[in-house]
Chain A
Amino acid sequence: MKLVRMRPGHGDVLLAEGDVEAAEDEERLVEEFRRQLDKGMWAAVPTSTGPRREALMVRDFGEVPRDAERVIFFPPAAGG
Chain B
Amino acid sequence: MSAPLLVLLVVLGSLAVAGFGPTAAERARLALDSRRRARAVARTPRELAYDPGRERRAERKALELLRSAVGEEEFAMYGSLGFLRVRGRARDGREYGYLIYPHRPIVAYDAETGELLSEYCVGFPDRAETAFGSRLPDADDVLAKWMSLHGDERGLIAGANMHLPGRQVDPGQVRRDLRRLREWEGRSRPLRIAA
Contact = CB atoms under 8 A, between A and B. Distances in A.
Interface string B137-171: 10010011011101110011001110000000000
A74 B127 CA distance: 11
Task: Give the size category of A's interface with B.
Answer: 20 to 34
By secondary structure, the B interface counts as helix
A65 interface: no
A78 to B, nearest CB: 6
B111 interface: no
Contacts, number: 126
Given A6-B62, A12-B65, A51-B71, A75 B150 contact: no
B69 A75 contact: no
A7 B57 contact: no
A11 B137 CA distance: 6
A32 B140 CA distance: 21
B136 A77 contact: no
B147 A57 contact: yes
By secondary structure, the A interface counts as strand
Contacts of A79: 121-122, 159-161
Given A8-B135, A9-B58, A75 B128 contact: yes
Given A55-B69, A78-B122, A10 B132 contact: yes
Contact of A44 (B132, B135, B147): B147
B20 interface: no
Contact of A11 (B62, B134, B152, B161): B62
B37 interface: no
Given A6-B140, A72-B65, A80-B122, A55 B159 contact: no
Interface of A: 4, 6-12, 39-42, 44, 46, 48, 51, 53-57, 70, 72, 74-80
24 contacts: A4-B65, A6-B65, A6-B126, A8-B130, A10-B132, A12-B62, A42-B144, A44-B147, A46-B70, A51-B71, A53-B70, A54-B151, A55-B148, A55-B150, A55-B151, A74-B140, A75-B127, A75-B128, A77-B123, A77-B124, A77-B159, A78-B124, A80-B105, A80-B123
Interface of B: 54-55, 57-62, 64-65, 68-71, 73-74, 105, 121-137, 140, 143-144, 146-148, 150-152, 155-156, 159-161
Given A11-B65, A46-B68, A53-B69, 19 more contacts: A6-B124, A6-B140, A8-B130, A8-B135, A9-B133, A11-B140, A12-B140, A42-B144, A44-B151, A51-B73, A53-B71, A54-B151, A72-B147, A75-B124, A75-B125, A75-B127, A76-B124, A77-B148, A80-B121
